Structure 1
Amino acid sequence: MTIAFDLKAEQLLDWVYKAEYAAIIIDGGGRIALANSSFLSLLKLERSQVERVSYKRFLSVSADVKKCLLYPHLDHPRSRWLEGHFIHPSGEKLPMTAHMMSGYADEQYFHLLFCTPMIQNATPSPSQMVNRFAHQWVNDLEIGAFFLDDKGQVVAINHKACSLLGCCADDVIQRNYRESFRLLSEEGKELISTSARTKSSEAREISWGVKGREVVVMMDVRPLIDHEVRVEGFCITLLDITKIRAMEHELEGQNRLSMIGQIAAGTAHEIRNPLTSIRGFLQVLKHTLNENLHIKEYGYTEIMLREIDRINHLVGEFLHLSRPDVHKKEPLRIENVIERMLPVIQSEANLHNIKVNYQQPTLSLPMVLAEEKGLKQVFLNLCKNSIDAMGNGGTLSICLRRNESKRSIQIEVADTGAGIPVTVVDQIFEPFFTTKENGTGLGLAICRRIIDEIEGEITFHSTDSGVTFCVSIPMLADEEGNSKEGQGE
């Protein structure tokens, strides 16, 4: 069974009521579920005389259309043109042409017919029918949609499709889609060509760039077939799934962290226990070598102890990924956390001849709900990364501000380094990815996990003149923050 629509009942009723020409809905049993005023006026009938009555009393159609109306479980064209007759109560038959679509509304199967009488042998062309039908409902859809005629010219397009395709309706109507939709990928254009060639529906996930961002859509091309099985036009829908794909990508990253965490939880202690014994014996050996003036061998033990400490540090970072922070979150002020860390940051910066520019907020900022130790780790990690990126010389800027629109406190950490290569910007939060010679690739992954736990966000912007990381943390309501501060004082 193929379908042309899957809607809520209110939307389907809205289509019929708004139609400027005769329109009816026929249920799966062949009864008229709804007729609009144009249909009733045409046959000079009252609504009670039509609705819940078999369509056969008012319409005369071909045998194959009857089969489609009475046996919806069979495989029929989801959209078709047909010719038949209106049946007047007097018995008179009036020739008509109609566009019929079949589909679901609130999980019930219906047929939707838009009918036009043939007056004085002036039969409207299928292209005219496409045009009139398209303009009626295309702008009511919440997904992108546009119609093409049989020559590929744009008949109608809604606002969502204009947004996704980066165009204006006035600039594309009555123009060929290949010329009008410059942002539409060749894959999307080929999808329409394939549908025209096979006379069947085609659907595929495709993407293109709009105003510097990637848009991912599920593109569905449905040909409009007339009673002679000719393609008279196309209905193309664009379902924006950009956010869904972004969430899936983020979920993959979280799953990877979870897997790493499970490995870490099972092996970290098994690694640390023997390391502790080895380190203890090395310290004894180091003391003995020093007493016996074995300077060369003493130097070897220094190297070995440093490498053991490095392994311990790596195991510690694994453990940060293996479990959520057990410390209790509490209301605190971000500026206080930053100011307590400044001496450590300044000391590290001085070693590399780097100037620290801290822009202290002029007004007291609202509190946030977080754990101080975790925030310190995030900010120290970001500052250390910035210092490493600049090497010798440069400026490290730390700025705090209040973002009323997002109800959050934003902390920006910016450097004047060379920026992040374009080829790796999508990987920097991935575990084990690093551009440092001795890096573990876990620092930013841990930062993101900590910020995620407090329902915050961490983003970055990179140029040739440096990188700016922005941490956004939801703020407590002003009243709650002030009351808790007062209690602390």
Structure 2
Amino acid sequence: MSSVIKEHKDSGRIELQLLHKEGKKVWGDVHYKLYFDEQHQFTGGIGTVADITKQKLAKLELERSNQQVQMQAQKLAVAGQIAAGIAHEVRNPLTSVNGFLQLMKTQYPERTDYFDIIFSEIKRIDFVLSELLVLAKPQSVHFQEVQLHGLLEQVITLLKTNAVLSNIDLKQPFKKQDAGAILADANQMKQLFINLIKNAIEAMPEGGSIYISTEK
């Protein structure tokens, strides 16, 4: 209350930690009225005190809980970014491994049961990676100049085996030297093209041709 008196506040409300007659500390909600003489000297005051210890402790506990939740959220955000990075890095080579195993399966027909187990496990890994991407926090985007046609050729090479096994011809009526640069995140663009072409392959169970072209 000394600060209130020094500031010559004649009335108001303040929360204070007080010492109870039993020796324990309690929180009080104090409504006060102060009196000062003509020289602004404090002469006395009246007031009421309500015990708000339970409410105050509950509020402090809530604030501590919120801080813990925020810290946990930050940790989960970091974990999510790591998980997303791992998922992207693993999924691309996994697609390549799956394609070459499909070719090997045709060369070893007597081991079909083994290959079926391998493909089942690869599918399970891919599912786990998808779950990681769903749970992961959005990643920051790193923009840089990306040679579009060069990136597309990498993706086409990666998926060509899958396309051949599905009786699909990936046609690319462009040349690498004709490529222009775009401002983009290379990894995200690569994953985007992989997803688009894989979806196109899966949507053509009877085979056919997929034309991949670009326009300025």
| TM bracket (short chain) | 0.3 to 0.5
Which has the larger share of strand? Answer: 1
TM-score of the superposition, structure 2-length normalised?
0.40
Which has the larger share of helix? Answer: 2
Larger relative CO (CA 8 A, sep 6+): 1 or 2?
2
